[in-house]
Structure 1
Amino acid sequence: MIEIGGNDRLWVLSGRRGSYALHLTDHDELLHLHWGPRIAVADAEALAAEPGPPERGFESPLDGREEFPVEGGPRFVRPALSVRAAGVRGTEWRFQHGVVSDSGFGDELRLRFHDPVHHLGITLHYRMRDGGDVLERWTTLAHTGAAGDDPLELLRADSAAWSLPARDRWRLSHLYGRWGAESRLARTGLTPGEKVIGSRRGHTGHQHLPWIALDGGEATEESGEVHSCALAWSGSWRIAVQRLSDGAVQAVGGVGHDDAGQLLLAPGESFTTPVFAGLWTDGGFGAASRAWHAWQLAQVIPGGPGVDRPVLYNSWEATEFEVSEEQQRSLAHLAAGLGVELFVVDDGWFGARTSDRAGLGDWTPNPDRFPQGLGPLADEVHGLGMRFGIWVEPEMVNPDSDLYRAHPEWVQHHPGRARTEFRNQLVLNLARPDVRDHLWERLDTLLSGAPIDYVKWDFNRSFSDAGWPGDAYPQRMWIEHVRGLYELLGRLRAAHPGVAFESCSGGGGRIDLGILGLTDQVWTSDNTDPLDRLAIQHGFSQLHPARVMAAWVTDSPNAMGNARVSSLRFRFVSAMAGVLGIGGDLTRWSEAERAEARDWVALYKRVRPVVQHGELYRLRPPDGDGLSAVQYVRGEETVVLAWLHAQHYGEPRPPLRLRGLDPGARYEDLATGEVHRGAVLGHRGLRTGLCGDLDAAVFHLRKTDRVG
């Protein structure tokens, strides 16, 4: 719902529980008023009538109060917009009009401004979809001049700025990490000054996810005010959070890692930034996560709510590059015997790909390994009752490949500079239309030539030599590569609607709301150690739902090299917290292990609708060596996954106080038949019975009736 007041210069956007308000002064200053509990237009008008801070020579009355701070004028905060044309920098805008319309996804507010000196049109977009509290914001910048006018250089073009009022203290939450240890949660006090997170790598990155949360220091998992925001972009990005001298906070975020220049706009051209979405809740970090999850399941992730992701098997750890058709057939038969629903052939099926040194870019089946192409293997996999998938890495090329020999100019490079080869590969420049056309032709032919149901799309190195020789403004490649990726994925999805896609980047190097709008799930981390994964999955769940979190059961000890040995039970229960997959060498598993795995897969299928589509409650975080647990609630069912990391002498295992249940109802354990009262489960808790080191359990409860 969008309401208008203040002589048509004040707007209030309201969702299920919260409101967002802004107004335009008589001097065309767009000021932020409110982001919090629901308010009426009259409340917003009262806020607009309050006097602003006094003017002082060393302070700006606009800083921290403006809805979208631009460069220039009486401003000293970090600008969300910096523009240069004919040597003139800065922006002075004039309000033109505000429009509220039905965008097809809910009401959208568009505020249009114009800078007559730069011939720059600026449109700020706001949308809050029906039934939720996530506010989507983005910006469109257009060169409105005539042919022959100077181009506009966008030095910085952020999507939005988020303003928060003064508090005694603010606390910042964000996700950090590295390859093999992604999505770790950090929660620290926000001191005066700036905190900047982002990626300079050309992709989202393993080091940070584009999400932050801010609270006053008192929020818990289930209570307290939390403001959070997330950027829908899969390339280099930056979020800067500034605590000002008066205790207020402003966060700006968008594409690119610096202010050195992003795009040139010629007359008639425009640029629309990605969405920078925000959410307010008074239900703590747990309620924030559940709201983010519901919004993504309903509005972002392909397929819509209620679509289950299948149990998959991936052949990489069993075969690596030693791929053959007969070997893959044998693995497929073993996987089908476990109840697997999707069989994926990983790297090594194409070109001259017998190692990571050759073949990348040549997307045709290796004729020695697959003499008749992928069709016969895919048909056999389908005959076993499974779907068939393959691994690709289309944005990369080996120097030892037919593609590179034909088109060395297609890779990112700087003339006269040493070439960097991570993993013996180079990055193709997807900003080039001819590169995208080639990839479309090869991938469309591949997907049309065999019954392929699933594509694992990998990206195994960062940008390092990000040059585009011959282009008039080569730095635009940082943005245009990502837009080219989105275009290519969208085109493939439209042409092959039955094919599902997974985003992978050496694990969790490309996870964000942008890529999730075009893929069905993401590879969370290359680290499949089940204990390490608990912390990774805990951080991932702060923003993203279990429905997209791929998690594998692999061999023990784990291939990551920590030498930890864990039971099949612990490995399965860890991976059942998301989209279950298996990646071990099944030819080395004993018949007893395969029989146990078969039972775990069957159990996962029974709890899958609750795990993948239910509301998540983080009961105990994995921040020590004791007990951790998560709970999912969907309708009358609830599922609890619990892990005991280690047990110490004399240390009791605390019961798990469940959430989201009807206190006046009974709940039956579907495995044991034991009946629990909802009030007791919520107050006293569920006893897990776990003991020893690396123990785990699954509890599946269903509401039976109300207590008399």
Structure 2
Amino acid sequence: MTTAVEAAERSLLWSHDALGLHAIADSAGSVRLGAPGQDWDSLLPLVEVTLTGHGRTWSGERFIDSAIGGRLTHRGHETVQDEGGQCTTIRLADPVTGLAADITLRTRPGAGFLRSQVRLVNEGSAPLRLESVSTLALGGIVDAGGALDGLTLHWADNDWLAECRWRHAAFRDHIVSLNRSAHGHEGRGCFERYSQGSWSTGRHLPIAALTDQAGRAWLWQVESSAGWRYETGEREGAAYVALFGPDDAHHQWRETLEPGQEFTTVPAVLVGARAGGLDAAFGELTAYRRRTRRGHPDHTALPVIYNDYMNTLMGDPTTDKLMPLIEAAGSAGAEVFVIDAGWYDDDAQGWWDAVGAWDASASRFPGGIQQVLDAIRSHGMTPGLWLEPEVVGVRSPLARTLPDEAFFRRGGVRVTEHGRHHLDLRHPAARAHLDRVVDRIVGDWGVGYLKLDYNVNIGPGTEHGAESAGAGLLGHHRAHLDWLGSLLDRHPGLVLENCASGGLRMDHAQLAVVQLQSTSDQQDPLRYPPIAAAAATAVTPEQAAVWAYPQPHFSLDEIAFTLTGALSGRIHLSGFLDRMNAEQFELVRSAVSVYKAIRSEIPDSRPFWPLGLPSWEDTWIASGRRGDAATWLTLWRRGQANDERGGVPRPRDRGGADDSTRAFTISHLRGADLRPMLLYPATSDATALWDPAEGQLTVSLPRPDTAVLLRLGAAPTARGREA
């Protein structure tokens, strides 16, 4: 327990009022991050590092309590103001190994976020072999009563076709009370989540949170496509959070620093909210993501995109198939038309394991692909193409002409996964090849949109010489981001979409560079709502591409259902629009018109969830956008699934015989005199009643498997009717 004398001997190095955090050094020079008044022993060393030969002082699953972390001492700090905000660097050093650690804490006055990154330098005389390095470590987290029993843990599972599946549990369900006083030691375990291989979000999102019953929230995000891990657990009666990039135990990452060499960790961010819970924290994280990404006109223009793939051509485009779709998409109001996979396929054995050259197929486009691209432009749309740039099929000529060093290798053998090799973009031949491809497609063909897919998990990485596989993956990841940035430097109007079999590489490292993110490959419109609703936890709304694939065999309710989910983010329109009757087509066109009327307000909006983050099985799902002028609410009501649709029961929130009405509390509008306006679809029989005193909206959707977009404001800004 901290004594008054010990507390008086501490020095304040950094503080942030909005977060309620400060960094302090004790009389021995140890630096820790926490809230004022917290017990020193519950806090963590500012940086946790394990080296080969210098592990932890208490063995277990936790990566805290490192010997080096405990020895790192303060040797200086400085704070500077720049256009990005306030930047404080705290310099630490280990007297035993000569390892120096400079941690950079970046924030803005009044903002509720803290971004951290650590730079390590070997100032000693012997090589140092890194095995793990924390980017951010924070202890002393307790509930409003100063304990742990009121904390709730939130995390997100992520999978192909099932992205952004948030879960929650009491903190004590995972970190049980062990009665430390009876044993004299902390526990050995923790709650951890980490990535596996090159799909950074193939298992989980690198985002999680702790909340308490008073509405406080601590939300964190690791920004890496090349390995990440977070852990939370108990230390001296309080919770802690430690955020890491790749490490040896989980990612085969090791980095040897010769004397004078350095290494910089991946970034991470901590967001704090003193009230408002997860909604407030995700609102702050959304604002942070906007501040830290590369600027681009697409972030405010939000053009409507038609893509020929989903439930439509499915990788089989030809001139004859595309021409009627182009005309229909243009008539519906699309502004970008993307030819997805297959446009390069001239191989009788199929294209999957033969890709790499990215030349247009002569058999698919007898008049040349330029004929189709010109047709897209003639209908007022920007042409786009699909690419999978980081892979080369095993049957591609490039697999033989590019040098071995241009590919991922392990143990001296070229890595093969699902019929593909993987390029290492640190190699000049690999990068030059892709530069030629993109400059031809964009510069010569006039393509203005590239969907960049990534359909293999290549495993832990690549070994070049003595480097570890995980270090090779991190090196490629950083080279890949640099390459993406160079494309935008050379082609400033180009729009890049990030895709990895949907949302399997949906991390902020990618999204700080590219303009859009494919949220899923999910083809069942009834299973898409929980993905669409929760996508804003992983990506800003204006970057979240949600599929809307109406079909001529759909009912009007089904058409409206698939379209409604995309209206508060980015529309990825698909479907055989050319085969629809007039009534169906007008329902599509009206959705696009509504979107164009409200899209200018999306880039400044913040997400919220009146029913909480959705569960996969929920029948009612609600996703909101809080803007300066109005609040929008997307509501889905799903009925019981049936075997014909391949569904499963949805038991979690099943109502009684009549599940047609729900009430939603919208706290930030309590007391407001407003009218709920139905923006889409006009065919809905929905009704909505607002109670300003309670801040409660009661909505009825009389038919299952229907969805609506409502506007809550003083007056409508788009075509709609009072609900």
Which TM-score band applies after superposition, normalised by the shorter structure?
0.7 to 0.9
Instruction: Name 2:106's counterpart in structure 1.
Output: 127
The Cα of 1:580 is off from its aligned counterpart by 1.2
* 2:268 alignment counterpart: 276
Gaps in structure 2 of 5+ consecutive residues? 1-6, 177-188, 640-654, 717-723
Q: CA deviation at 1:200?
A: 1.6
Query: Amino acid of the residue matched to residue 661 of structure 2?
Result: R
1:584 paired residue number: 575
Gaps of 5+ in 1: 35-43, 53-60, 84-88
Q: Which residue of 2 aligns with 1:29?
A: 30
From 178, 182, 185, give the equivalent of 2:159: 178
Q: Which residue of 2 aligns with 1:693?
A: 704
Q: Is the 8 A contact 1:467 1:474 kept in 2?
A: yes
Give the deviation of 1:687 after TM superposition. Answer: 4.1
Cα distance in 2 between the residues matched to 1:489 and 1:546: 21
Letter in 2 for 1:76: W
Bigger mean CA offset, 377-386 vs 489-498 = 377-386
Which of 342, 346, 349 lines up with 2:343 in the alignment?
Answer: 349
Matched pairs, number: 657
TM-score (normalizing by structure 1): 0.84
Counterparts in 2 of 1:351 and 1:153: CA distance versus 1, 3 Å: farther
Counterpart amino acid of residue 168 in structure 2: R
Question: Over residues 373-414 of structure 1, what are the superposed CA-to-partner deviations in whole Å (9 max), with x where a residue is unaligned?
Answer: 644433332221111111111111111112112136233234
Q: 1:597 to 1:557 in 2, by over 3 A?
A: closer
Secondary structure of the 1:620 match is coil
Q: Which moved more, 1:244-253 or 1:205-214?
A: 244-253
Residues 419, 234 of structure 1: alpha-carbon distance in 2 compared, 3 angstrom cutoff:
closer
Is 1:204 aligned with 2:182?
no
C-alpha distance after superposition, 1:247-280 (max 9, x if no partner)? 4323232234627542233344322212110011
Instruction: State the match for 1:40 in structure 2.
Output: none
Partner of 2:303: 310
Contact kept, 8 Å, 1:530 with 1:575, in 2: the verdict is: no
The alpha-carbon deviation at position 351 of structure 1 amounts to: 6.0
1:19 corresponds to: 20
Q: What fraction of aligned residue pairs are identical, expressed as a percent? A: 22
Contact kept, 8 Å, 1:194 with 1:242, in 2: the verdict is yes
Q: CA deviation at 1:345?
A: 0.7
Q: Secondary structure at the match of 1:571?
A: helix
**Alignment-derived partner of residue 393 in structure 1:** 388
Distance 1:314 1:247, change over 3 A: same
Q: 1:319 to 1:261 in 2, by over 3 A?
A: closer
Q: CA deviation at 1:333?
A: 1.0
* Pairing 1:216-227 to 2, within 5 Å after superposition: 216=212, 218=213, 224-227=215-218
Pick which of 134-143 and 319-328 moved more. 319-328
- Alpha-carbon offset, residue 600 of structure 1: 1.5
Q: Distance in 1 between matches of 2:298 and 2:110?
A: 14
State the Cα distance separating 1:684 from its structure 2 match: 6.3
- 1:157 aligns with 133
Counterpart residue type for residue 137 of structure 2 = A
Map 1:485-496 to 2 at 5 A. Answer: 485-496=480-491
Q: Does 1:296 align with 2:277?
A: no
> Displacement of 1:547 after TM fit?
1.3
CA distance in 1, matches of 2:393, 2:497: 22
The answer to whether the 8 Å contact 1:578/1:612 transfers is: no
Task: Report the more deviating stretch, 638-647 or 515-524.
Answer: 638-647
**Where do 1:238-387 residues align within 5 Å?**
238-244=229-235, 246-256=237-247, 258=249, 260-281=252-273, 282-300=275-293, 302-303=295-296, 307-317=300-310, 318-350=312-344, 352=346, 355-370=350-365, 374-387=369-382
Letter in structure 2 aligned against 1:204: S
2: distance between equivalents of 1:100 and 1:648? 59
Q: Are 1:657 and 1:682, in contact at CA under 8 Å, matched by a contact in 2?
A: no
Instruction: Identify the range of structure 1 (677-686 vs 549-558) with the bigger mean alpha-carbon deviation.
Output: 677-686
> Is the CA contact 1:152–1:264 (under 8 Å) kept in the aligned structure 2?
yes
Distance (whole Å) between structure 2 residues aligned to residue 651 and residue 202 of structure 1:
43
Q: Does the 8 Å contact 2:670/2:694 carry over to 1?
A: no
Q: 1:601 is matched with which residue: 562, 571, 592?
A: 592
Q: Is the 8 A contact 2:460 2:470 kept in 1?
A: no
Indicate conservation of the 8 Å contact 1:644/1:690, yes or no: yes
Q: In the alignment, which residue of structure 2 is the partner of 1:10? A: 12
1:634 aligns to 2:630 (yes or no): no
Q: Deviations over 1:577-603 (max 9, x none)?
A: 421111223344344322221111112
**Are positions 1:140 and 2:119 aligned together?**
yes
Matches within 5 A, 1:501-516: 501-516=496-511
Superposed displacement of residue 461, structure 1: 0.8
> Which sits farther off after the overlay, 538-547 or 566-575?
538-547
Give the distance between the partners of 2:292 and 2:191, measured in 1 at CA. Answer: 30
State the distance in 1 between where 2:705 and 2:678 align: 24
Alignment check: 8 A CA contact 1:667 1:701 kept: yes
Shift of 1:565: 11
**Alignment partner of 2:661: what SS?**
coil
Q: Distance in 1 between matches of 2:271 and 2:438?
A: 38
Partner residue in 2 for 1:58: none
Q: Which amino acid aligns with 2:709?
A: V
Contact 1:262–1:479 (CA under 8 A) maintained in structure 2: no
- Write the letter of the residue equivalent to 2:630: E
**Per the alignment, do residues 350 and 76 of structure 1 end up closer, same or farther by CA in structure 2, a change over 3 Å counting?**
same
In 1, the alpha carbon distance for the partners of 2:49 and 2:460 equals: 31
Q: 1:277 to 1:492 in 2, by over 3 A?
A: same
Change (3 A) 1:677 1:14: farther
2:560 partner SS: helix
- Cα displacement (A) at 1:497: 0.9
| Cα distance between partner residues in 2 of 1:474 and 1:70 | 20
Q: 1:519 aligns with which of 506, 514, 517?
A: 514
Secondary structure in 1 matching 2:167: strand
Mapped partners of 1:333, 1:269: distance in 2? 58
Distance 1:390 1:606 in 2: 27
**1:226/1:133 CA distance change after superposition, 3 Å:** same
Q: Which residue matches 1:168?
A: 148
Deviations 1:163-217, CA, capped at 9 Å, x for gaps: 233523232111003211111011012314311211121231221010110123x
| RMSD, aligned α-carbons | 3.4
Compare 626-635 and 463-472 and name the one that shifted more: 463-472
The one-character-per-residue Cα deviations of 1:120-169 (angstroms, maximum 9, x if unpaired) are 32101101124421110110112335xxx544322112311122335232
Deviation by residue 1:648-674 (Cα, 9 ceiling, x = unmatched): 5344612444443373544473769xx
Equivalent residue number for residue 225 of structure 2: 234
CA separation of 1:509 and 1:655: change in aligned 2, threshold 3 A = same
- Counterpart of 2:409 in structure 1 is 413
Q: Deviations over 1:333-386 (max 9, x none)?
A: 111011111100111122646734343111232344446764443333222111
Instruction: Give secondary structure in 2 for the equivalent of 1:18.
Output: coil
The residue aligned with 1:531 is 526
Contact in 2 for aligned 1:102/1:108 (Cα 8 Å): yes
Work out which of the residue numbers 679, 702, 714 in structure 2 matches 1:703. Answer: 714
Q: TM-score, normalised by structure 2?
A: 0.83
Confirm or deny: 8 A CA contact 2:87 2:105 kept in the other structure.
yes
Could you tell me how far apart the structure 2 residues matched to 1:497 and 1:196 are?
40
Written as runs of structure 1 = structure 2, the 5 A alignment for 1:535-554 is: 535-554=530-549
Deviation for aligned residue 1:90: 8.1
Structure 1 distance, partners of 2:30, 2:410, is: 44
Q: Specify the code of the residue in structure 2 equivalent to 1:595.
A: E
- Cα distance in 2, alignment partners of residues 277 and 135 from structure 1: 5
Contact residue 141 and residue 270 of structure 1 kept, 8 A: yes
Alpha-carbon distance between aligned partners in 1 of 2:73 and 2:10, rounded to the nearest angstrom: 16
Q: Tell me how far 1:538 sits from its aligned partner.
A: 3.5
Question: Which whole-Å deviations, capped at 9, do the CAs of 1:447-491 have from their partners, x for residues lacking one?
Answer: 211212111111101013744364555552121111111111111
User: Are 1:182 and 1:207, in contact at CA under 8 Å, matched by a contact in 2?
Assistant: no
